[in-house]
Amino acid sequence: MCGLLGLVCASENDAAKARDAVGRALRCQRHRGPDETDTWADGEVVYGFNRLAFIDLEHSHQPLTWGPPESPERYTMNFNGEIYNYLELRAELAEKFGAKFATEGDGEAIVAAYHYLGTAAVGRLRGMFAFLIWDSERKVVFGARDPFGIKPLYYSKGPGGIAFSSEKKSLLELAEPLGVEEELDRTALQHYLVLQYVPEPASLHTGIRRIESGCSFTVSPGGELVTERYFSPEFLARPVTSPAGAKALHTEIAEVMQDSVAKHMISDPDITVGAFLSGGIDSTAIAALAKQHNPNLITFTTGFEREGYSEVDVAAESAAAIGVKHVIRTVSADEMMEALPLIVWYLDDPVADPALVPLWFIAREARRHVKAVLSGEGSDELFGGYTIYREPLSLAPFEKVPGAVRSLLGKVSARIPEGTRGKDLLRRGSLSLEERYYGNARIFRDDQLRGVLRTFTEGVGHRDVTGPWYRASADWDPVARMQHVDLFTWLRGDILVKADKVTMANSLELRVPFLDSEVFRVASRIPLDQKITKETTKYALRKALDGIVPAHVLNRRKLGFPVPIRVWLRDEMYDWARGIIADSRTEELLDKRAVQALLDEHKSGALDHSRRLWALLVFMIWHGIFVENRIKPEIPEPQYPVHV
């Protein structure tokens, strides 16, 4: 787990001009790899690397050079991530092709696979990754990002060439030598205020984009970037026709999860791997399975000293039932307000998910004990865990209503005052799935956004983001379509961004066993009635984990890390929020008086605007850091031991 930087310049002269900025760019992502820092160059290609070492600690340095016996220095690679099947892959390449390896690490397995298997090698990798491989003979860079987007990969292109990085802020340091424009992307801002994240492949800077999850690419010095999708997740469920068939499915789920967790525990013997633990089934299952491989497992949870906003007690009960050491970190409103500018700096782009703040604090605490943690991200998208996935069941009666009547119901809903019970049910029942389902967060509706966003553009909406994924799943059942949309929007735009950014901010590697190619292979075949019932979600997973997960958690609804911003913005955080609005220089983009009116209406208790306010406040802080250069968080140097 590391931070990579790669420049493919238009000429050697352009590469020389960019070299001075490489050091600054690497310092921006020092937190991603405090163990080692190194650079490398070959004509038009320049690499920089920050290493967080886990496997083959004394070797496997990067940038890594490898080649076959006849050309031993042909390839040079920058690689961020972990390959969990690298031992099997190395053995296969050695047996079939006579591949030779100089290290014991996973990096050489990627390069050797590319040499012997070509671009198809990326489909053989089981893990999380973003990498660049320079072929000095063909003069081309081949790169890829993992199937689900666990690890980030940004790029920017200008007259001087193209640059890739694990951190967007590093590319901002390279903008001038590459000739990249740094304008704010107003379309991306509009999407952010609706979805609470900036959807891939965009960023909030027009000159910086992201390689999408499940994509590979090639680029040559002075040439164009050519991308190709190598992974397209498909949910191909077939009905389970008998109790024996259902039992076999549950057994298969349990076995693949046991295998995935075992592989995700891999590290050097000197490295300790822990686990995050909330009160839900996902993290509890991961911790229980991890305990089988590490009897001294340490788990971590966070919460707040406010009733209804903490899973600390449930998590502690789970830790006791599993038999693991447990660490708790509670977070106050004052700590959140103080830490938020620094967290936003680490994020690169705003993510208006309040849960990332307590996650940052528990990651910081965990890094004092371990160097890597397992977590439960991805379970809901693969196994049907979100409560909203049950909505097609509750809205089924509307499907029988003629289109004209459904349209009339929508008009009736529009006349009902905000906050009235049943208003949103009528509105959503009047809409098709493609119209109503944005993903797991819906912050501003268009009618609400028009009054706040001065740059509102008619015709820009969530279907610009979700449309391609709905078209690709047109023949699937509605829950599978919602899962598919979430894999390409909510998961990689919110869940995995916050997980990567706040853990790596603390030089802590986060591993997600649910987001594994073999786990997805099994999950993609789960039929609808084994995912969602009238009583529960993730039905098949719960059955599979019976006997692994403690009984008090098995059928409990997941809360994650709930954050009390609704009450805090009416009390402890009101003056703080008012100050952010007053100081922000976003008048050209936002109607600040309308934002303040939202805050005051929220304080009065008339309506709950907490999520909308949080999205606006996070953006204002982001703008103060990256556009105004007015807010300057003090960035700490990593102070962690090299090997824990």
Task: Kindly list the distances between the CA atom of residue 412 and the CA atoms of 21, 346, 419, 424, 536, in Å, as whole numbers in the listed order.
Answer: 58, 44, 15, 11, 31
Question: 357: number of CA atoms within 13 Å, CB side?
Answer: 26
β-partners of residue 191 are none
In 3D, which of 630, 627, 633, 629 has the Cα closest to residue 185?
Answer: 627
Residue with tokens 């019976």: 546
User: CA-CA distance, 153 to 131, in Å (whole number)?
Assistant: 8
Locate 398 and state its tokens. Answer: 């509307």
β-partners of residue 78 are 132
Q: Check: CB of residue 114 under 8 Å from CB of residue 75.
A: yes
β-partners of residue 273 are 372
Q: Check: CB of residue 532 under 8 Å from CB of residue 384.
A: yes
User: CA-CA distance, 210 to 148, in Å (whole number)?
Assistant: 13
Which of 2, 9, 28, 215 does the annotation list as catalytic? 2
One-character DSSP codes across 52-101: ---SSTTS--SSEEE--TTSTTSEEEEEEEEETTHHHHHHHHHHHH----
User: CA-CA distance, 95 to 598, in Å (whole number)?
Assistant: 66
Environment class of 431 (CB within 10 Å of its CB; exposed 0-12, middle 13-18, buried 19+): middle
Cβ neighbour number for residue 20 with a 10 Å cutoff: 9
Collapsing DSSP to helix, strand or coil, 39 comes out as: strand
Residue 279 marked ligand-binding? no
Collapsing DSSP to helix, strand or coil, 262 comes out as: helix
Residue 375 marked ligand-binding? yes
Q: Check: CB of residue 163 under 8 Å from CB of residue 219.
A: no
Residue with tokens 């199937």: 147
DSSP 381: H
In 3D, which of 325, 249, 314, 245 has the Cα closest to residue 284?
Answer: 314
The residue type of 359 is L
Locate 289 and state its tokens. Answer: 């399975």
The residue type of 581 is I
Residue with tokens 């160097």: 371
Q: Check: CB of residue 65 under 8 Å from CB of residue 115.
A: no
Give yes or no: 9 in active site: no
Of how many residues is the chain composed?
644
Residue 220 marked ligand-binding? no
Q: Check: CB of residue 184 under 8 Å from CB of residue 235.
A: no
Q: Check: CB of residue 165 under 8 Å from CB of residue 173.
A: no
User: CA-CA distance, 587 to 572, in Å (whole number)?
Assistant: 26
* End-to-end C-alpha distance for the chain, whole angstroms: 14
Locate 599 and state its tokens. Answer: 């805050």
Binding-site sequence positions for L-glutamine = 106
Catalytic residues: 2
Binding-site sequence positions = 106, 375-376
